[in-house]
Amino acid sequence: MGALIRSYDWDANELGPPADWPQALKTVVQLMLNTGHPMYIWWGANGICLYNDAYRQLIGSERHPGSLGQPAAEVWAEIWPIISPQIGLVMTTGSATWHENSLIPITRNGRRDDVYWTYSYSPIGDDDAPNGVGGVLVICNETTGQVMAERAVATAAKRQQHQFQSAPGFITVLTGPDHVFEFVNSAYTEVFGEREYIGRSVREVFPELTKQPFFDMLDCVYRTGEKLIVAETPISLMTDSDGGPHERFVTFVYAPIIDESGAVTGIFCEGMDVTAHHTAAEHRTLLTNELQHRVKNMLAVVQGIVGQSLRNVESPSDAREAIFSRLMALGHTHDLLTQTNWTEAPLSAIVEGAVLTHCVDRDQVRVAGPDIQLRARAALALSMTLHELFTNAVKHGSLSNEAGQVAITWSVSGTEAEGQTFALEWQESGGPVVAPPSRKGFGSRLVGTSLMSDLGGIGETEFAPDGVRWTLSTKLESIRY
C-alpha cells in the first residue's frame, strides 16, 4: 500500500501532492503504513480513502485498489447509512467512537457477506480544518469468526441446558469457592423447594444446612479437585409450609469443574431424591448399588469427554464446542437407556439419534441393518463413536457438501451354536478428497482401540481418497442385551 500511495496521481486528486498534505495527515499515514493492524483513513470533507495492507486483506477485490483516493460516500455506498452518522459525529465533535462486534454487511469477493467488526473512529486533528478535525482514523478488526463461534457455543449450551432441565434427577452447577448457583433444573426445585437460587451462594440459600455436612463436602471437592459420591444420606430442609424441618434422603455426586489450566472453577452436582426408596428397606441395598454404579459410569464417561476434549484445542471456544457436542450425544443415549432402566437400547434408535443430533439431511444418510438391542455399555460406546464420525464427516468429510453420502450398515453372521459375529460399516462417498489426519485426537482414539473394552472389538479406519471407511467386527454376544 505504501508503494501504491506513492505512485498514485495525487496531483489530479483533491488532496493534492503528498508534500503539501497537512503534517497531521502525513504522520497518521506513516503510522498506518507501518502497523500490521487493519487501519483506514477518511480525510477531508469528502472522506478521501487511504488504507494499509492489513485492511486491504479484509475488503476484497471490489474495493482494492479502486477505493484509494476516492470519496467515502462512493466507496462505501452500501453501508453509508450506517457509518455516515458515526463519521459525522467524529468530524463535528472531535469525539471518538467505539463499536464492538457490530454487524456491517459488505460485498467482497463476489458476494454479500454478513461481517462483524470491532472498530473505533478517532479524530485526526488539523487546526486549519472545520472544528479542528481534518479526518477520521479507523482502527478495526473483523470478528465474524468469533461471533459465529460464540453463537454456536451458546446454541449448544441452550440445548444442553434443555437436556439438563428435563433430566429426571436433580442437577445444579455451582461456581467459585463460595459455591454460587449458576444453574438449577426443575427436578432440583422439586426436591429442595422454590427459592432464589441463581447468583446466591449455597450458604445464603440453605442456612438450615449449617450444622449438616454438605458445606464441608463442597469445600473439600473444590479444594482437592476430587469428586465425591454420597448415597442415601439424610438432609433436613425447611420446606414445609409451616416452616418446620422436613427430612429427605438423597443420593448425589459432587464433581469438580476444571478449566483448561487444570484449576477447579466450580462444582457439578447430580443426584436423585431416594426418600421413597429408602423407606422400602427390602429394596434399599439394590437401589444404592445400582445408583452408585450408574453415577460412577456416567462420571467416568463425562470426565473422559472433558479431559480428552481439552487436549490439543486451539481456543476455549473450540473446547466448549467439543465438550457440549459430545455431551449432547451422550445425553441422547442416556435418554434411550433411561426408558429401559439402563439395560438396553435399540441400535437403530442410536443411529437415528446421531443423525438428528447433527442436523444432517436425512437424504444424505442410508441406514440398513437388523433389529438389535445393545447392552448399556455398548450403546454408550457406539453412540460416542457415531458422534465422532458424524462430526468429522460434517466438518471435513462427505457431509461437508450437499452431494456427499454416508452409508451405515450392519449385519449378523454365523449360528448361535457356533457364536454369531456382528459387523458394522461406516462408508463415506461424494465428499472432498480424503487424507489421513496429521495427529491422532480423541475421536481417532475412540473409534480405534478404545472400543475394545466396551464393544469387544477394534474399529478400523481407512482413509481412502474417495471417502472414509470405518468398520467394526465383534462377537454379537459381547454387545447384545
Distance between alpha carbon 147 and the CA centroid of its chain, in Å? 12
Task: Over range 112-128, report the average pLDDT.
Answer: 92
The rounded mean pLDDT for the chain is 84
pLDDT at residue 240, rounded to an integer = 57
Sheet holding 97-103, edge to edge: 48-51, 39-43, 133-142, 116-125, 97-103
Residues 50/72, Cβ–Cβ less than 8 Å: no
Whether the per-residue pLDDT at 306 is higher than 50: the answer is yes
pLDDT at residue 158, rounded to an integer = 73
Assign 442 a pLDDT band (cuts: 50, 70, 90): very low
Task: Over range 470-478, report the average pLDDT.
Answer: 90
How much of the chain exceeds pLDDT 90, in percent? 50
Domains defined along the chain, listed by start:
2-142 (3.30.450.20), 145-311 (3.30.450.20), 315-481 (3.30.565.10)
What tens digit of pLDDT does each residue of 203-256 get? 999 999 999 999 999 999 999 999 999 998 999 998 655 567 888 899 999 999
Return the closest-CA partner of residue 83 out of 53, 120, 113.
Answer: 120
Assign 284 a pLDDT band (cuts: 50, 70, 90): very low
Query: Which of residues 184 and 295 earns the better pLDDT score?
Result: 184
Assign 287 a pLDDT band (cuts: 50, 70, 90): very low
